[in-house]
Amino acid sequence: MSEQVYRFRAATVDDRAWLTRLHDESYAELVTAVYDDHGRAWQQGFFSARLAHPVDIVIVLTDHTPVGAMYLDERAAEVAIESLEVRPEHQHQGAGSAALTWVQARAAATARPVTLRVHRANPRAYHLYERCGFHVVGETATHLIMSAPGKC
């Protein structure tokens, strides 16, 4: 069996509907576990605000099919992953690790660490980040703040 190959491309305005579906699918379990009935409406507002925020949105593809997206904020001192979303049926197949490796290599080229926040109620994401060399550098009431200098 051959290893899956992932490619990355910048999102375009044509990706907006797909990104909305991806966000709903990838966060459904967390939203259900953490928030009440108002969670979905709040999450949609959060997602709309994210699309309006000036970040780079990178689509993760395999076999020319989009399977995930990363929202990156390129700062002078770091590259911040605002969100990493993978379609549920493509999780645990390497897309998340490939995306983290890609962004870590991009940041290493300019000697910047990669940072992110992970919700405390999302242990699967936390374990992915930990496997890829991220470590906790801070915390809030709801999130762990993680950083990594190297490749996944």
Query: Could you count the other beta carbons within 10 Å of the beta carbon of residue 101?
Result: 17
Is the overall model pTM greater than 0.95, yes or no? Answer: no
Q: What is the pLDDT of residues 43-78, one digit of tens each?
A: 555 556 656 665 789 999 998 999 999 999 999 999
**pLDDT tens per residue, range 75-86:** 999 999 999 999
Domains and CATH numbers, the chain: 6-148 (3.40.630.30)
State which H helix or E strand residue 52 sits in. Answer: helix 39-52
DSSP letter for each residue of 69-112: EEEEEE-SS-EEEEEEEE-GGGTTTTHHHHHHHHHHHHHHTTT-
